Amino acid sequence: MGPGIIEVFLQYWPLFLNGLIGTLKYAFIAVLFGSMLGIVVAIINMSKNKIVSTIGSIYVNVLRGTPLLVQMYIAYFFIPMAVPALSFLSKEQCVILSLILNSSAYVSEIFRSGINAVDKGQTEAARSLGMSASHTMQKIILPQAVKNILPALANEYIAMIKETSLAGTFMLYELMYTRTLLANKFLVWQPLFIIAGIYLVVTMVLSALVRAMEKRLSVSD
């Protein structure tokens, strides 16, 4: 059996802490860049041009309809080969890129519903004033949509915190990777429970924060 969970945690907590920092960092990068890309995908998806919107929906369906782990393997092995322009990316960066792409597909759907939820009268008012379509989207619709979808984006971040655990498979130093590090020291079962506990605490705390944010947002309406 070896040492207990608490002993292992007390001895190796800096490893877990660094792992957690890696997890939060990768999840943040994925959602931040995923959001930027996601806005573009959402707008492509909502295009009146059938060909353009079909490309958008294929993108979303492929990324949402296949496992992230598979996407990571493909990114890890094939992105530098298949896309020469991206060959400067390290293996690690390819895995992060797959996180970003995956997140962008989910975020684009969040944005799409957020944009659709903004009253149509807002677009009509802006366009009737002579505001261009792109200014209307940037200055009138998106600011209102973002406010509506902040809780959903935060939930995407929480989901992404769990998804990044797959990145440990590719030697990215995040929380799950500490299991590999400690397995080398013949500590097999203790780290798993410590890792699970840390994920649980972090996601519960963040979920509580999201609920508080939702409450505040609904008050300001």
Partner 1 sequence: MTDEMKLIIEVVDLQKNFGDLKVLKGINEKIYKGEVVSIIGPSGGGKSTFLRCLNMLEIPDGGHVYFEGEELDANSTDLDQHRQKIGMVFQLFNVFPHLTVLDNITITPILEKKIPKEQAEKEAMELLETVGLSDKAKEYPRKLSGGQKQRLAIVRAMAMHPDVMLFDEPTSALDPEMVKGVLEVIQNLAESGMTCVIVTHEMGFARKISDRVLFIDDGIIAESGTPEELFDHPKNPRTQEFLSQVL
**Nearest approach, Cβ of residue 212 and partner 1 (Å):** 21
Could you tell me how many residues of this chain bind partner 1 (CB under 8 A)? 19
Closest CA relative to residue 37, chosen from 92, 94, 88, 110: 110
Of 134 and 184, the one with the shorter C-beta distance to partner 1 is 134
Residue 81 is a binding residue for partner 1 (CB under 8 A): no
Return the residue of 91, 127, 155, 181 that touches partner 1, per CB under 8 A.
127
Residues 6 or more apart from 46 whose CB is under 8 A from it? 53, 112, 115, 116
Choose the stretch contacting partner 1; rule: CB under 8 A; options: 66-74, 126-134, 168-176, 198-206: 126-134
Query: b/e for 9-27, b at 16 or more Cβ within 10 A?
Result: beebeebbebbbebbbebb
Of 7 and 119, the one with the shorter C-beta distance to partner 1 is 119
**Nearest approach, Cβ of residue 87 and partner 1 (Å):** 40
Of 53 and 169, the one with the shorter C-beta distance to partner 1 is 53
| Count of helix runs (H) and strand runs (E) in the chain | 9, 0
Q: Detail the DSSP E strand segments found in the chain.
A: none
The amino acid at 8 = V
**For residues 132 and 213, what is the distance between their CA atoms, to the nearest angstrom?**
33
**For residues 58 and 64, what is the distance between their CA atoms, to the nearest angstrom?**
10
- Residues 149 to 208: which contact partner 1 by CB under 8 A? none
Residue 147 is a binding residue for partner 1 (CB under 8 A): yes
The amino acid at 26 = Y
Choose the stretch contacting partner 1; rule: CB under 8 A; options: 75-83, 122-130, 164-172, 185-193: 122-130
Residue 139 CB neighbour total at 10 angstroms = 12
Tell me the per-residue interface mask from 90 to 119 with partner 1, x by CB under 8 A, - otherwise: -----------------------------x
Choose the stretch contacting partner 1; rule: CB under 8 A; options: 60-68, 129-137, 163-171, 202-210: 129-137
Give contact residues for partner 1 (rule: CB under 8 A).
Answer: 119, 121-122, 124-132, 135, 139-140, 143-144, 147, 221
